[in-house]
Amino acid sequence: MQNHQFDLIASPGFFIATLLIYAGGAIGSLLLQNNDRRAALWSTLAAIAGSILGVSFAVAALLRGIIPAFTSESTFPLLSTSFYVDSLSALFVLAICLVALCCSIYALGYLRHYYAKYNIGLLGFFYHAFIASMILVVTVHNALSFLIVWELMSLASFFLVIYEHRDSANIRAGILYFVMTHVGTAFVIFAFLLMYQATGSFEFSAIRVGLDYASPILRGVIFLAALIGFGTKAGMIPVHIWLPSAHPAAPSHVSALMSGVMIKTGIYMLIRVSLDLLPPGELWWGMTVLVAGSLSALLGVLYALSEHDLKKLLAYHSIENIGIILMGIGCTLAFSATGHNTLATFSLIAALYHTINHATFKALLFLGAGAVISATQTRNIEHYGGMIKTMPQTALFFLIGSMAISALPPLNGFFSEWLTFQSLFRGATSFDAFHDFPFILTIGALALTSGLAAACFVKVFGVTFLARPRSTGAAQAKEAPFSMRMGMAGLAIIAIALGLFAGPVSRVLGQISANLIPGGKAESLGELNLITVSSPDKFYTISMPAVFLSLLAASIILSLLVFLMTRSRRVRIAPTWDCGTDLTPRMEITATGFARSIITIFKGVLRPSRQTDIEYHDSRLRYFPKMEKVILGQRDIYQPYFYQPLRELISKLAIQVKRIQSGKINAYVLYILLTLLGLLIYFLR
């Protein structure tokens, strides 16, 4: 393609055209809401078209290094806005549109489940508003405009979470999400107001310059407020409680978008604030993020292990992966604060790579889960089994996603986790004994997380697709429609490609990272080519194509060996020896049984509960049990130990504050007078 064509695609006009298509998709869906089929077709086709334009725009901007930007000036601050699509923004636009493209293709078949049950036009409206607002969140360059689009994204996703409103659990999940997202937004507003106080502007470009002169304490407070605010959206522990309820409640293609890309907008803003708007911070910023990342990763995967609701389990894995991304950001902040700019750049590559990877494989897994749930009408994995026979292609895509999230080579998850490990190893050797310690602990946490994630997906894949069906739904399941498989196939191919072509992708991410780290130079990052990725001092080197070829060669050699060793044997088909009983699905290992031993090891954290109900043949004698029912679960530690005390504290404060609400208009005017005098004294002194 000619350069001028790239320039045309990476122009503000093309960007606006993308947004207009989403706007058209939203309005058209509403207008066609009386006809489910037409509304679904219009909604999905418009989303596909918008996503293709968005992907083209982002790719052109990234490859050509163009920064499309435009500003709208007004004397009224709310009407002033600016958009600035630098390479970081372009990367996130690419991730959003790529995942949205696959989800929209998937939705062509998936939306049929909702025909005549729910309003498809309304779903299409909020779906488009959701995607467009996510794109705006990562491109807007003005704090006030940002808050508006951030709120738009939250509201659109809230309505998508409560879309299946006849289920009261979904309404509860939506309300929890609504409350938590606004708690997070309160912290975000606080951070922006502090920035405004320090710089006198809501424009990111002015804030970037003005914050250089802000005091370290103010910068620290802004950083903490941003970490809590954006961490809430990202699903960081302990402000994660909305995520495991809200993500499963939404339709599966929306869950894929929420888990795949919406929570990444929190990561995007954390990077934007801590590495772009704020000048290089202090070491404790990095250490704080490292600790938050370790806790989120480890606890996220432990909760996932004990979960039997397929979508909830995947939501917990999102918390785990956000933790891994935070580890990379933590390393970046720590290295940046101490002047290790090349290492900071490399750590940021790890964080960004895992962000993109998680967007693809988590979306793939949610789409796979959606296909399975549509076929079986249940989210409980104990009711699955043997579905590899009835849904072989879905099983293959789910397996690819499972392997990627379990960080198995040569898939993308492996490479980004490997990079994160390398960053942590460098951290453990670059600081004094005291500051090495968090890195060493984080390495342990990441190692444990990786192992547990692999165990969890052995459970999920094994219990869902292998062995024999445990329910009629699983036995009678049919393969997902073609468009749903297409959507999954797209994401599976991207996951494989991101693993195999790690070098070129790292080079692009290296350029983005170098732009954000003061003193960071893409040329100093070592070899980042098609074959090899290595650090300048050869501390680490890896070749993903070589890893792939090695695995392929090993598989071929092993197959050949097995073939050679067994070719003389006769194949004899006979029943399995079963101790004289009939084998039934009830004899298979269940998800609960599989996870119970691991849960027992971590019972101090997970607080497993066991409730036993016994029914006796004779309730007076209580000798001969007729039926025994065991309910295994986990106690929620966040409600009683964190949110409940916090709620009580806020309630007490509210009761005290309520005293000023006397119901007398004279008193209220007195408050106005006192405030006026206070402001006069404060500003004129």
Q: Which positions lie near other proteins, rule CB under 8 A?
A: 663-666, 669-670, 672-673, 676-677, 680-681, 684-685
Minimum distance, C-beta of residue 669 to other proteins, in the bound complex (Å) = 5
Closer Cβ to other proteins, 79 or 677, answer by number: 677
Cβ 655 to other proteins, closest distance in Å? 16
46: nearest Cα among 60, 27, 67: 27
Least CB distance from residue 662 to other proteins, whole Å?
A: 8
CA distance 643 to 240: 11
* Angle of the 433-465 helix axis to the 283-305 helix axis, nearest 10: 20
Phi, psi of 613 (to 5 degrees): -115, 120
Look at residue 310 and give its three-state secondary structure: helix
The nearer residue to other proteins, 574 or 681, going by C-beta atoms, is 681
Rounded to a whole number of angstroms, the minimum distance from the CB of residue 607 to other proteins is 45
Residue number, 75 or 597, with CB nearest to other proteins = 75
Give the Cβ contact number of residue 632 at 10 Å: 16
Give strand pairing partners of 83. 70, 140
Do 285 and 221 meet the contact criterion of CB atoms below 8 Å apart?
no
Task: Provide, rounded to whole angstroms, the least separation between the CB of residue 671 and other proteins.
Answer: 10
Alpha helices in 306-391 (DSSP H): 310-337, 341-376, 387-390
Identify which of residues 168 and 661 has a Cβ nearer to other proteins in the complex. 661
Closer CB to other proteins, 115 or 671, in the complex: 671
**Nearest-CA neighbor of 344 among 200, 582, 518, 143?**
518
- Nearest residue to 386 (alpha-carbon basis) of 466, 326, 316, 452: 466
Residue 73 CB, nearest approach to other proteins (Å): 21
Angle formed by the axes of helices 482-500 and 502-516, nearest 10°: 70
Q: Which is nearer to other proteins, 575 or 663 (CB)?
A: 663
Phi/psi zone of residue 292: left (φ > 0), alpha (ψ -120 to 50 degrees), beta? alpha
For other proteins, the closer CB: 552 or 672: 672
- Separation CA 238–CA 231 (nearest Å): 9
CB of 681 to other proteins, least distance (A): 5
Instruction: Let me know: does 379 contact 244? Beta carbons within 8 Å.
Output: no
Minimum distance from residue 210 beta carbon to other proteins (Å): 23
What Cα–Cα distance (Å) separates residue 178 from each residue in 111, 157, 186, 385, 648? Answer: 25, 9, 12, 35, 20
Nearer to other proteins (CB atom), residue 440 or residue 676: 676
Unique residue bearing structure tokens 């967007």: 359
Please confirm whether the linkage preceding 238 is cis (ω < 30° from 0). Answer: yes
**Pair of tokens at residue 562:** 């097995």
The minimum distance between CB 650 and other proteins, in angstroms, equals 23
Q: Going by C-beta distance under 8 Å and a sequence separation of 6 or more, which residues neighbour residue 169? A: 245, 249
Closest contact distance (angstroms) between CB of 133 and other proteins is 34
Considering the complex, what minimum distance in angstroms separates the CB of residue 612 from other proteins? 52
Report in angstroms how near the CB of residue 675 gets to other proteins at its nearest. 11
CB atoms within 10 A of CB 652: 10
Residue 433 or residue 665: which is nearer to other proteins going by CB?
A: 665
Can you tell me the distance from the alpha carbon of 321 to that of 300, in angstroms, rounded to the nearest whole number?
8
> Which residues, other chains included, contact 464 with Cβ-Cβ below 8 Å and sequence gap of 6+?
310, 372, 381, 384, 385, 387, 398
CB nearer to other proteins: give 625 or 678: 678
CB 302, min distance to other proteins, A: 50
Query: What distance lies between CA 133 and its chain's CA centroid?
Result: 17
Strands 625-634 and 608-616: antiparallel
Q: Rounding to the nearest 10 degrees, give the CA dihedral for residues 472, 473, 475, 478.
A: 150
Q: What is the CA radius of gyration of the chain?
A: 27
Give the residue with the Cβ less far from other proteins, 561 or 676.
676
Nearer to other proteins among residue 4 and residue 664 (C-beta): 664
In this structure, what DSSP letter does residue 76 have?
Answer: S
Closest to other proteins by CB, 600 or 675: 675
Cβ(364)–Cβ(358) under 8 Å? no
